[in-house]
Amino acid sequence: MGTSRMFGPRRVEKSLLQRFVSLNWGIVLATILIATVGFAMLFSVADGQWDPWASRHLLRFGVALMLMLAIAVVDIRYWMALAYPAWFAGIALLFAVEFIGDTGMGGQRWLDIGFMRLQPSELMKIAVVMAIARYYHGRTQSQSRSLRSLLVPVLLLMIPFALVYRQPDLGTAIMIIAGGAATLFLAGVPAWIFVTAAVGIVPLAFAIWPFLNTYQQNRVLTFFNPESDPLGAGYQITQSKIALGSGGMTGKGFLEGTQSHLNFLPEMKTDFIFTVLVEEFGLVGATIVLGLYGIVLTYGLLIGIGCRNQFGRLLASGLAIALFLYVMINVGMVMGLLPVVGVPLPLISWGGSSMLTWMIAYGLILSVSVHRHVTIAPRGSGVV
């Protein structure tokens, strides 16, 4: 076995304690640092108050951190076995939202589960990557390249996309596609398919344009010309750019942001929280935070590369790339590089679902890391 020579002989099975000790603590630390930035910014948005956001954000993070660590020490083969059930559960939740969900921000997205309002579309992003990773784990290189085996993954991708798009939540729907597509690419689906899809997306965009909601159309239109309507839809982007730019190199200082504290910024505690950060800490602060995200991405990709089973590789890299895409889109959006599609900044933006997604995803990535030496048979379910 080439691979075993490559990594040297390992004792594959570990005790719970050993697994805990062998966690990738770099990821945990970076995650805690990012979340800490989140506490600080929510503290600032509330004009220097812990309530109502920073304190609850901290509490949620504490719970989510436990969850992440718990997921991390659970054997990867359990998660692989749960891949398809998780996908079906996600679909079921999306249907549930369709019928009994709460309406918020212009769409049905939320499911009230007592202690928090869950956004099933967020969890779906993980489930899609899991299911695709599971699917390709059992496929050989040549199978992975065949068009026929693409049928199931496309369904795994398009069904949740359609459901989330219907809510309507274009941003999350696109994120699901992006995360899934990245996983497919890593799994070895021929590159020309992606090139074709990328080229084909332009006519497709024109084709679906008439079916978009007015607010979605407006977002795209104001993206192309934000100054056209400075007090209407373009107001957000204009004010956001002013806040970003006026921060300069080192920012106006913690709690000193005028754009945020005088309420010129929209959606400060959610989608535009990065703007608050840059206004108060400047280019330096922004670079540090983006660097932290970069570190976490790099860890995720390295874990994938260092993993001995295909499921683990695809899961770790797919999730890491999908989550990093979140950061990219959110930051690109507030800088006026992308349309405002309503994507939060993971761990920093106020909101339980996106934090939960991030923590579960990195719990899984950590689990891949812990169990990187485990080899799993192509059909290999349930066996520990």
Partner 1 sequence: MAREGLRYQTYSRRTLLLAGLQGIALGALGLRLYYLSIVNGEKYRLRADKNRIFIRLIAPERGEIFDRNGEKLATNTQDLRALLVPEQADQLEPTLAKVQQIIDLNDRRLGRIRRRISRQRKFVPVTLAQGLDWETFSRLNVEIPQLPGVMTDAGHSRLYPGGEAIAHLVGYMASPDEEDIYKSPLYQLPGFKIGKQGLERRYEALLRGASGTRRVEVNAVGREIRELPPREESIRGNDLHLTLDMSLQQYVMQELGEEAAGVVVMDIASGDVLAMASSPGYDPNEFTRGISNANWQALLKDPRAPLLNKSVTGQYPPGSTIKMVVALAALEQGLISPDTTYYCNGRHRLGDHTFHCWQNRGHGELNLLEAIAKSCDVYFYEIAEKLDIDLIADMASRFGLGATFDMGVDGEKEGLLPTREWKRIFQQQSWQLGETLNVAIGQGAILATPLQLAVMTARLASGLQVVPRIVSDVEGNGNFFAPLDVNPYHLETVQRTMEMVMEEGGTAHDYARRKSATKLAGKTGTAQVRRISLAERQAEGGVLENDELPWASRDHALFVGYAPAEAPKVAVSVIFQHGGGGSSVAAPLARRFMDKALEAYESLEEVKA
Q: How far is the CB of 364 from partner 1 (least distance, A)?
A: 17
Interface with partner 1 (CB under 8 A), residue from 15, 262, 379, 384 = 262
Residue 71 or 321: the one with the smaller Cβ distance to partner 1 is: 321
Question: Which residue, 172, 184, 68, 67, is CA-closest to 123?
Answer: 172
d(CA 349, CA 54): 10
The token duo for 49 is: 């108050």
d(CA 383, CA 209): 48
According to the binding rule CB under 8 A, does residue 369 interact with partner 1? Answer: no
According to the binding rule CB under 8 A, does residue 353 interact with partner 1? Answer: no
Residue 93 or 345: the one with the smaller Cβ distance to partner 1 is: 345
User: How remote is the C-alpha of 332 from its chain's centroid?
Assistant: 15
d(CA 324, CA 371): 23
According to the binding rule CB under 8 A, does residue 2 interact with partner 1? Answer: yes
Residue 73 or 244: the one with the smaller Cβ distance to partner 1 is: 244
Interface with partner 1 (CB under 8 A), residue from 310, 349, 353, 354 = 310
According to the binding rule CB under 8 A, does residue 108 interact with partner 1? Answer: no
Interface with partner 1 (CB under 8 A), residue from 237, 273, 292, 331 = 331
CB environment 195-224: b (16+ within 10 A), e (fewer): eeeeeeeeeeeeeeeeebeeebebbbebbe
According to the binding rule CB under 8 A, does residue 317 interact with partner 1? Answer: yes
Q: How many CA atoms lie within 13 A of 272 on its CB side?
A: 27
Q: How far is CA 200 from CA 147, 212, 218, in A?
A: 18, 18, 23
Answer whether 322's CB lies under 8 Å from 125's CB.
yes
Interface with partner 1 in residues 175-194 (CB under 8 A): 182, 185-188
Q: How far is the CB of 184 from partner 1 (least distance, A)?
A: 10
Question: Which residue, 178, 184, 146, is CA-closest to 160?
Answer: 178
Residue 304 or 363: the one with the smaller Cβ distance to partner 1 is: 304
According to the binding rule CB under 8 A, does residue 337 interact with partner 1? Answer: yes
According to the binding rule CB under 8 A, does residue 239 interact with partner 1? Answer: yes
Question: Where along the sequence are the contacts to partner 1 (CB under 8 A)?
Answer: 1-3, 140-142, 144, 182, 185-188, 239, 241-249, 258-259, 262-264, 278, 282-283, 286-287, 290, 294, 297-298, 301, 304-305, 310, 313-314, 317, 321, 324-325, 328, 331-332, 335, 337
